[in-house]
Chain A
Amino acid sequence: MTKIIGAENLTKTYNVIKAVDHISFSVEEGELFGFLGPNGAGKTTTIKMLTTLAAITEGRATVAGFDVTKDPAEVRKAIGIIPQELTADDELKGIENLLLAAKLHHVPGDKARGKALSLMQLFELEGAAQRRVKTYSGGMRRRLQLAMGLIHDPKLLFLDEPTLGLDVQTRQNMWAYIRKLNREDGITVFMTTHYLEEADSLCDRIAIVDCGIIKASGSPSELKSRLSGNVLTLQLMDGADASGLIRNVQDVTEVVKEGETYKIKLEKTERALPAIVEAVTAKGLKISDISLAKPTLDQVFLQITGNAMRDGPATGDSYGQRVLIERLK
């Protein structure tokens, strides 16, 4: 495997605010790598540095074998960028937007049309190719945006919040496209998202970022296994406190009693679960309800980033954000 993105101590400071704070990571060729974090975590700033749109304050980054600061022109040739904003021109037709993107990426004219048409087909936009983009739905605009980023056959694609504002069905479709680009066409994908299920479903590896720092990284299953085991919820019929009894069972790490309900953290579920049931029934206590929950990425995420609301100052342009919302309607 070859490293296609390498970041060492990457830092971005706006005035005194550290938007990205000495992060280091690497992405291998062919990977689908996700940057997961709450709003304002530094995800977009990181993408901007890697795609030459923001100057690096400290540290260095290489993308597709080129130093981002020293060789920005080469980096731009090698990558495709799908920004959060919908930048296709409303007044131009879908196909015109694609052909313009082709020209700006110096795709030869004879190749460009063929490539544009095949991308229109791939993203199921061929019927709308001759329509002006202002008549497109939010999902169609996102697909067109994806096509525009792929017109020059980049080997590395940066996706910034690719499903932001889309409904559930359209989101699932986008996931299928992204998966296909990665698995079938071999395009390395670096994406940011604040949707946990998106990262869980799509990414080979995830870095959880918060406050400009990478808090954890690994495959979704590795991250989930970091949460100590499963959580058993047990409800008993009568009021006797069984906490001590349950706590004594091997592989039980924590017991919290809420009324008649016990939340029990388990290390080895297959051993602990029957032992708990046995211990409780042996004491003559009756179980009224029992359920087992596997840790979700949500729990990992909340454990790592905390529950605090992120209502910091807006980082983007508010006018642009409003237009984005309008366009996605």
Chain B
Amino acid sequence: MFDDTIALTGRSLKKWIRNPAAIMPGLFTAVFWLVLFGSSFNPVNLVPTQIGGTPLPPAVIQQIQASITSVFGGATNYITFLTAGVISFIVVINMAYGGIDIVLDRQLGYLNSLLGSPISRASIFFSGVMQNFVKAFFLALLTFAVALLIPNGLMLGAGFGALNFIGIFAAFALLTFGFSCLFTAVAFSVKNVDSLVAIINFLAFPLVFMSTAMFPIGTFPSWLKGIAEVNPVTKAVETARLLMVNGSLSAGQLSTFADNMLYLVIFAAALAVLGYLIARRALRAE
């Protein structure tokens, strides 16, 4: 089963590598979100410098700015806060749309030729999961690089090291894998692209916007706060932010990190099982 999964994943990735233009939409999304959205909205700039013609003392302005920054988890600018959110957005959206390849494989008869060959249904499903995973994960890395490269972009905390980097992408890997299982299973279950797009819009956007990807949880109404707190996107984004903004973690931060990672491991494992069950049902002979 493992060899079949590798062979099929290889087929998809070979096609992907041979078509470098395929990563452009993802790259543009990253740049647009970070540069346009991230630069045009910086809440620290909202602090007034004067009230009724009377200039505010710089110490007061700084204090207000510091309190806003603290709401943003210690990020020194909005792009630093936003980077983890944009990565999660790109991961979720690209995995969701990655399912289009699977729907086309069904429509073009390729899926039937797989179903008629002596490979297990599990390898058909997990090769779909892996191809989506690799593509989305690559875009996540690319987005991180873009955030670092743009002027006044991502400001990493002092003492940021390889372990921080590994921790950030371990969290995103778990998030990506879990959602890849979900969206791959959905893609195997629908018969045409229209249905897939409808489901993507229904699932992917709320997942991102009902998390702390774009805005801090302190600004949320209480009903949304409850949802955002259990949303796996929030867990991955908060973990990544923690590791971006703080170089080395305090004992308390380390325990938050461990809790979030455990949550993400359970999430990824649960969706792997759920996704497989959905896909197995969708792939059986009708």
A65 to B30, CA, bound (A): 56
A83 to B109, CA, bound (A): 8
Whether B112 contacts A83 by the Cβ 8 Å rule is yes
Within 8 A of A (CB), among B101-121: 106-110, 112-119
In the complex the two chains form, is B110's CB within 8 Å of A87's CB?
yes
Contact of B119 with A104 in the complex, beta carbons under 8 Å: yes
Residue of A53, A55, A100, A319 near B116 (CB, 8 A) is A53
Within the assembled complex, what's the spacing in Å between the Cα atoms of A298 and B254? 80
B108 A323 Cβ-Cβ under 8 A: yes
Mark B1-15 against chain A: 1 for CB-CB distance below 8 A, else 0.
001100110010011
Is the Cβ of A54 less than 8 Å from the Cβ of B285? yes
Q: How far does the alpha carbon of A86 sit from the alpha carbon of B109 in the complex, in Å?
A: 8
Q: Are A85 and B109 in contact (CB under 8 A)?
A: yes
CB neighbours (8 Å) of B109 from chain A are 83-87, 320
Q: Which residues of A contact B108 (CB under 8 A)?
A: 85, 87, 320, 323
Contact in complex: B285, A53 (CB < 8 Å)? yes
Q: Is A77 interfacial (CB 8 A cutoff)?
A: yes
A89 at the interface (CB under 8 A from B): yes
Total inter-chain residue pairs, C-beta < 8 Å: 76
In the assembled complex, A3 has its CB within 8 A of some CB on chain B: no
Q: B219 contacts the other chain (Cβ, under 8 Å)? A: no
When each residue 283-323 of chain A gets 1 if its CB lies under 8 Å from chain B and 0 otherwise, what string results?
00000000000000000000000000000000001011001
For residue A106, CB closer than 8 A to chain B, the reply is: yes
Q: Is the CB of A52 within 8 A of B116?
A: yes
CA distance A106 to B117 in the complex (A): 10
Question: In whole Å, how far is B190's beta carbon from the nearest beta carbon of chain A?
Answer: 12
Tell me which residues from 3 to 50 in chain B have a Cβ below 8 Å from any Cβ of chain A: 3-4, 7-8, 11, 14-15, 18-19
For A73, give its contact among B14, B106, B118, B192 (CB under 8 Å). B118
What B residues does A105 contact at CB under 8 A?
A: 117-118
Q: How far is the CB of B144 from chain A (nearest CB, A)?
A: 28
Which of chain A's residues has its CB closest to B106's CB?
A317
Nearest residue in B to A73 (C-beta to C-beta)? B118
A22 to chain B, nearest CB (A): 19
> What chain A residues lie within 8 Å of B113 (beta carbons)?
81, 83, 87, 148
A92 at the interface (CB under 8 A from B): yes
CB distance from A319 to the nearest CB of B (A): 5
Flag whether A103 is at the interface (Cβ < 8 A). Answer: yes
A200 lies within 8 A of chain B by Cβ: no
Q: Which of A68-111 contact B (CB under 8 A)?
A: 72-73, 76-77, 79, 81, 83-87, 89, 91-92, 96, 100-101, 103-106
Bound-state CA distance A274–B4 (Å) is 70
Q: Which 9 A-B pairs have the closest CB atoms?
A: A85-B109, A91-B15, A103-B7, A55-B285, A76-B118, A87-B113, A104-B117, A81-B116, A77-B118
Chain B residues engaging chain A, CB cutoff 8 angstroms: 3-4, 7-8, 11, 14-15, 18-19, 106-110, 112-119, 191-192, 284-286
A selection of 9 A-B contacts at a CB cut-off of 8 Å is A76-B117, A83-B113, A91-B14, A92-B15, A101-B117, A104-B114, A317-B107, A317-B192, A319-B107
